[in-house]
Chain A
Amino acid sequence: TPSLRLRRSSEKIYNFMDAQYYGEISVGTPPQNFSVIFDTGSADLWVPSSYCVSQACAFHRRFKAFESKTFHHDGRSFGIHYGSGHLLGVMGRDTVKIGDMTILNQQFGESVYEPGSAFVTAKFDGVLGLAYQSLAEILGNPVFDNMLAQKIVDQPVFSFYLSRRTRTSNPQGELLLGGIDEAMYNGSINWLPVSAKRYWQVEMDSVVVQGGSSFCPIGCHAIIDTGTSLIGGPTRDVLRLQQLIGATPTNNGEFVIDCTRLSSLPRITFILGGKEYTLTSEQYVRKEPFGISDLCFSGFQAFDIISPEGPMWILGDVFLTEYYSIFDRGLDRIGLAQA
């Protein structure tokens, strides 16, 4: 699909249209602040450049390399193609700060060309990728790899808590770099080995719809992706799944559900490492305000990702708001627990 890029035998998905959670970082000395998506589905750090004259850049904070005492010019260029366009930029190195942590000589990209209108409405300035280095477009260590190399964190672990409630909850989400927050989950953690060190990818046993139907009955692979909001799966499976939950397509290729029927819709269970992760209709349907009422959208989206491991599913925010996720680079495993 257009959102898929094949290179160096690894698949790249950049779907910035559905990203929802962002946090603050700073780049340079003195620090220049940016809001970035912390994305486990990519491995690069990029922010807009002050040299960018695209319309999208005008609406965002832009990095002024000439004001940073610690900036090192690289000279190489980079390009990232995503589902609805592409961006181009130049590479550099500088000090990056996340909270109180300082990462020295971090390779990153400054985008100088962000064509199209996709980023014009984006609330975030850039993206900070947390996937494995083999997925990186920009040469050099991804941010978390540098944190490990510079021994900035005690444990080679980071974890995400994402809240469904937007206004009432505090925080709306939390990324903990270097540890696990036991206050953010209930019960025990189920650990799943990473099956390929590109994405945070694990083996999934099956997907079961209440009432009997199932998908990937002999197993398949799933990516745990904080950079996308929905749950993605192979087109043929997801179209059938949409039928089973009574979702009908719109002209936009999205699937809507009658909000009054939510209580009668089946539960959907993802089985990972022998453990069941069940989502109710209230959890897999997304409500968005539309006039004086709500529109209900299916939380499932078709993605055809061809990989050496076969068809893949993407478990995005719809899944991760229900399950606290722990990404362990030391033992190359992912932990999931009830959020």
Chain B
Amino acid sequence: AMVRVALMRVPSIRSQLRTQGLLEDFLKDHRPDMFNRRYAQCFPPG
């Protein structure tokens, strides 16, 4: 009563978007927090 499931490793969505040169536009459209986070250290805690 055990089953082995073989797992395939594939490039992540992020990696594929980067390869296609689409990551920056994708993140601007979908993940503005990724940009905000760059400046998180400039703000007080909380």
Contact = CB atoms under 8 A, between A and B. Distances in A.
Contact of A123 (B1, B10, B41): B10
Nearest to B17: A121
A119 B33 CA distance: 20
Interface in A129-165: 152-155, 162-163
Interface in A13-44: 16-24, 35, 38
Q: Specify the main secondary structure of chain B where it touches its partner.
A: helix
Interface of A: 1-3, 16-24, 35, 38, 83-85, 98-101, 116-119, 121-124, 152-155, 162-163, 166, 171-179, 181, 229, 235-236, 239, 249, 251-253, 288-289, 302
Interface in B1-42: 1-20, 22-24, 26-27, 30-31, 33-35, 37-38, 40-41
A236 B1 CA distance: 46
20 contacts: A16-B13, A17-B12, A20-B9, A24-B6, A35-B8, A98-B3, A101-B3, A116-B30, A118-B26, A121-B17, A121-B20, A123-B11, A153-B1, A153-B2, A163-B9, A172-B7, A173-B9, A174-B5, A174-B7, A239-B41
A21 B3 contact: no
Max count, chain B CB within 10 A of own CB: residue among A84, A179, A236: A84
Contacts of A21: 7-10
Nearest to A154: B1
A17 B27 CA distance: 11
Contacts of B40: 235-236, 239, 302
B24 A252 contact: yes
A116 B16 CA distance: 15
Contacts of A176: 2-5
Contacts of B19: 288-289
A25 B38 CA distance: 39
Given A99-B5, A229-B12, 18 more contacts: A23-B6, A85-B30, A116-B30, A123-B11, A152-B1, A154-B2, A172-B6, A173-B7, A173-B8, A174-B5, A176-B5, A177-B2, A178-B2, A235-B40, A235-B41, A236-B41, A249-B38, A288-B19
Contacts of B23: 252
Contacts of B8: 21-23, 35, 123, 172-173
A244 to B, nearest CB: 14
A123 B24 CA distance: 20
Contacts of B16: 121
